Structure 1
Amino acid sequence: MAGVKPKKHLGQHFLKDENIALKIVEALKNIENLPVLEIGPGTGVLTKYLLEKPSWEFYALDVDLESIDYLKSTYPDHGERFQFQDYLKYDVPFERFNVIGNFPYNISSQLFFKIWDDRDKVDEVVCMIQKEVADRICEKEGSKTYGILSVLLQAFFDIEYLFKVPPGVFNPPPKVQSAVIRLKRNNVAQLSCDEKLFKRVVKSGFGKRRKTLRNALKDLNLPDAVTSLDVMNKRAEQLSVQDFISLTEKIT
């Protein structure tokens, strides 16, 4: 781990288990050899295995300049691959690409919202995140864990829960369990409703998840024809992805 110190304000927990690192890289199928972006490479435990994929156009992005400098010095023949860049603010220059990484835990949800924004470009994602976030993303309707990211991501991606990762394989060990998941872009090119409104309906519904949708969506100033629907007597967690799509269609 010499050369890069984990920084609490960046949510860094560096993976130190080589077997898990290899499993994560091998979980990215990248069948079409699309460009791959690694988010938060840290000390490069995934990076070295990604560099062993000669057919992959691979770049590592980090907001930690110490990490970028360390990787450039460790792999001088690949300096152009390591970029001091914030994915959250990055307009990715590829028509299609894949994402991999041990996501910084303090911004993992923000990263998934960015992936949702990039949904027409992102083909596949393999990432390690907090177990509770992984549970939330993979959950189906009817669960208290089911939420905004569950609906938004499941609308456009097939999601697999791959395996759990214990705290002891990190430096420093996080206070939570971790998990690795894979997202694969599905065949839905476009929803049958207004996608911006869909996102707004989902966020508003779960923003007041203890209330019925009739009350949770009041700020949207919905017409009586919508507020009188039976579905408005339900809470957001009771609606499937398709239910949210159908509701958004009715609103428009």
Structure 2
Amino acid sequence: MKHVARKRFGQHFLADTAVIDAIVRSIDPRPGQALVEIGPGLAALTQPLLERAGRLAVIELDRDLAARLRQRQGLEVVESDVLKVDFGALAERHQSKLRVVGNLPYNISSPILFHLLPWADRVLDQHFMLQKEVVDRMAAAPGSKVYGRLSVMLQWRYDIEALFDVPPQAFDPPPQVDSAVVRMLPLPDVASLDAARFETMVAVAFSQRRKLLRHTLGKWLEEQRFDGSFDVQRRAEEVPVAEFVALAQALPPRA
């Protein structure tokens, strides 16, 4: 029976074979690697990945699709909301760093990216199809209009490369936006810092983009009893990732 895409799951199924081939070539899966696909849907990407890798774990919330996927040999089906999945446990079970891929549901793509952050050291790489606007924000440089909280939080932990764009016509049903494929490589040497505090600091900095940082982050730094030097006569979008990281490292210990 034909599966009808469900809006509540943000389902847009990849159907263009040329795009599928391009994604698989970008991932370049090899036998024995611990591949995990988020949102396999109708298995358009799942099948070629499985053929090349020999095994694959898939995370699918839709119970009807999960039941279909269980009929395929070589698949480990995790029927769950991806935001509840422990990727550290998955890596432990596979005794290997994970290669995470997927055509992510656009309605929760940013929460998924943030959910994966704590396990970056258990990941070899990530390849995702996302809304092009989100990929632009992920890869944005300081000074760009789309450089923001997502840019800083992800570039702190990953090397991010936008690979290619994908038109709406490549999907069934077509989304109302352009899409893009992105590659994320966890950085080997990451600055040691309080991740939760760093995330709060970056969120405060970008909470009012039009204002100078002295109106937002400046007040927060005073509350943290920061007595170092940091130029708050700038807007958050002008501050490079490295400066945000250095500031987080220079904060005094929590009271």
Matches within 5 A, 1:72-221: 72-73=70-71, 75=72, 77-78=73-74, 80-92=75-87, 93=89, 94-95=91-92, 96-188=97-189, 190-217=190-217, 218-219=219-220, 221=223
Show CA shifts across 1:210-233 (max 9, x none). 22222222345133635xx45111
Q: Post-superposition shift, 1:33? A: 4.8
Q: CA RMSD in A?
A: 1.9
Native 8 Å contact 2:29 2:52 kept in 1: no
Deviates further, 142-151 or 215-224:
215-224
Please report the TM-score for the alignment, with normalisation by the length of structure 1: 0.89
Deviation by residue 1:44-83 (Cα, 9 ceiling, x = unmatched): 000010111245x41111111111112223x2x33x5222
The aligned residue for residue 52 of structure 2 is: 53
Q: What is the TM-score when the length of structure 2 is the normalising length?
A: 0.88
Q: CA deviation at 1:154?
A: 1.0
Change in CA separation of 1:198 and 1:30 when aligned onto 2, cut-off 3 Å: farther
- Structure-2 residue corresponding to 1:28: 27
Contact 2:24 2:48 in 1 (8 A): yes
1:70 partnered with 2:68: yes
1:125 is paired with a residue whose SS is: strand
Q: Which residue of 1 aligns with 2:224?
A: 222
Residue 39 of structure 2 corresponds to 40
In structure 2, relative to structure 1, the CA distance for the partners of 1:187 and 1:54 (3 Å cut) is: closer
8 Å CA contact 2:226–2:251 kept in 1: the answer is no
Change (3 A) 1:177 1:118: same
How far off is 1:132 after superposition? 0.2
Residue 31 of structure 1, CA deviation: 7.0
SS in 2 for 1:181: strand
Q: CA deviation at 1:32?
A: 9.4
- SS of the aligned residue for 2:206 comes to helix
Specify every segment of 5 or more residues in structure 2 that has no aligned partner in the other structure, as ranges.
none
Q: Distance in 1 between matches of 2:241 and 2:147?
A: 11
